[in-house]
Amino acid sequence: MPILPIDTGRYGSAEMRSIFEEENRLQKILSVESAVAYAQAMVGVIPKSAAEEIRRKASVKFVKLERCKQIDAEIGHDLMAIVKALTEICESDAARYVHYGLTSYDVEDTATSLQFREALEIVERDLMELEDVLLRLVQKHRDTVMPGRTHGQHMGVITLGFKFAVWLREVARHLSRLNEIRERALVGKILGAVGTGAGLGEKALKIQKIALEKVGLKPADMVTQIIQRDIHAEVISFLVLVASSLDKFALEVRNLQRTEIQELMEPFRSEKQVGSSAMPAKRNPVVSERISSLAKLMRAMIVPALENVPLWHERDLTNSANERFIFPMSFIIIDEMLKGMNRVLEGLDVFPENMKRNLELTKGLIMSERVVNKLVEKGVGRQEAHELVRKCSMKALQEGTDFKTGLIGDEKIVSKLSLDEIDQCLNYSTYLGVAQQLVDNALKLTREERKR
């Protein structure tokens, strides 16, 4: 019976989960065994007829998962169980050459890279979709004015498009990282015990080159008995970085969906979706909360990945057990998070009228910086101007009046600024700086990168 939620199909797509299913893993291992036999035949180490027989039988059609498990239960070595299962069905002299000159992690690590390749393609597709969604949102809300917040307090005026443009460029950086990681992580290793190739003979490097080309990988850079775990740690680190960005986006949606703010709201899947078992009227940001919850788990994955980098001598087995968890779980969880974030942003409800209402909450105090700058333009020293405006601001807060009233009541300020100038200073929509230009730059850069 299933135990973990990823076993039940609750999280991650069927496509991503299938990459890490036992039978698919078995087929990847068999494909590597077949590729090595092909390479050995190409350089004349084993008969071509033997390599062809190994190729024919290196399939889950012949090597059954159940049989492999039976053997594993007897011998306590899962990779050797696969080797034995393949050996026992190969005819003629082909059986002699199954796994010839290899060690377990030649096959295990190379098979893992094949899984990474497929899984990263899905991650890239999801990130590209997220980038597309954000491109549309940035364009649509380029001029949608809203409060900018620091420390949870109103600090200035931005646009929703500006906020989304920040996210857009973050996603673009992840796509760039993904391309770099492929260069380092999609590698294999066919060099036998301790990585010298001694068991494969003097043609070891040719065998490795041909075999890895056969499965579409490059040779890893300097190995021992295993591919060095800094490579795998980088893959997990990348996935954790993506997860943290998604957590950041989800957290913002959750905060802006607060009843007292309600500038954004994640969509309901259907008219029948239930928000709360107690209160029928509620629309809880459950998908965004799920993303944030899974991000906590994802960040924990980096610890064992980093702990796997230092191993005894040319290898030990302390990486093996935890990698059976962290590799599939990391990819399946990030797949769930990306698809959830895409659903949230694709159907996001936006409430510009609430943004306008919230801008008025401080009764003009959000524009205090602009008043300071205007006084400096009129000849007042910057520190003196800051103190003048600070006193007006604190007085307005204490008395519950609007900022304009406080400014007009200060003789020093009105001696420098006319009523029209004060009104201009308090106009939210004209204090966006170069925000819209920055948004346009982000859109242009992202579109240019997409064409490359």
Q: Regarding beta strands 153-159 and 187-188, do their DSSP bridges make them parallel or antiparallel, or are they unpaired?
A: unpaired
What's this model's pTM, rounded to 2 decimal places? Answer: 0.93
Fold assignment, 365-425: Ribonucleotide Reductase Protein R1; domain 1 (1.10.40)
Residue tagged active-site, from 18, 92, 176, 276: 276
- Say what the pLDDT of residue 410 is: 87
- Is CATH 3.30.565.10 what the domain over 5-97 is classified as, yes or no? no
Q: Which residues of 143-174 are buried (b: 16+ CB within 10 A; e: fewer)?
A: ebbbbebeeeebebbbbbbbbbbbbbbbbbeb
Distance CA 167, CA 381 (A): 37
Query: What does the block give as tokens for 191?
Result: 């060099």
CB-based contacts of 93, cutoff 8 Å, min separation 6: 47, 49, 50
12: left (phi over 0), alpha (psi -120 to 50) or beta: left
Query: What does the block give as tokens for 326?
Result: 């962290």
Backbone angles phi, psi at 146, to 5 degrees: -150, 165
Residue 99 catalytic? no
Query: Which CATH number describes the domain made up of 105-197+219-358?
Result: 1.20.200.10
Domain ranges (residues) in the chain: 5-97, 105-197+219-358, 365-425
Query: What does the block give as tokens for 11?
Result: 């999280």
How many Å from the N-terminal Cα to the C-terminal Cα in the chain? 47
Backbone angles phi, psi at 403, to 5 degrees: -65, -40
- Say what the pLDDT of residue 277 is: 47
Taking only the tens of pLDDT, the chain with its 452 residues reads 788 888 888 999 999 999 999 999 999 999 999 999 999 999 999 999 999 999 999 999 999 999 999 999 999 999 999 999 999 999 989 999 999 999 999 999 999 999 999 999 999 999 999 999 999 999 999 999 999 999 999 999 999 999 999 999 999 999 999 999 999 999 999 999 999 999 999 999 999 999 999 999 999 999 999 999 999 999 999 999 999 999 999 999 999 999 999 999 999 765 555 555 455 557 899 999 999 999 999 999 999 999 999 999 999 999 999 999 999 999 999 999 999 999 999 999 999 999 999 999 988 888 999 999 999 999 999 999 999 999 999 988 888 889 988 898 888 998 999 999 999 999 988 999 999 999 999 999 999 999 88
Tell me, yes or no, if the two domains 5-97 and 365-425 fold the same way.
Answer: no
Query: What does the block give as tokens for 438?
Result: 């920055």
Residues in the chain: 452
Amino acid in the structure at residue 221: D
- Say what the pLDDT of residue 327 is: 98
Residue 141 catalytic? no
Residue tagged active-site, from 151, 270, 313, 418: 151
Q: Regarding beta strands 153-159 and 218-219, do their DSSP bridges make them parallel or antiparallel, or are they unpaired?
A: unpaired
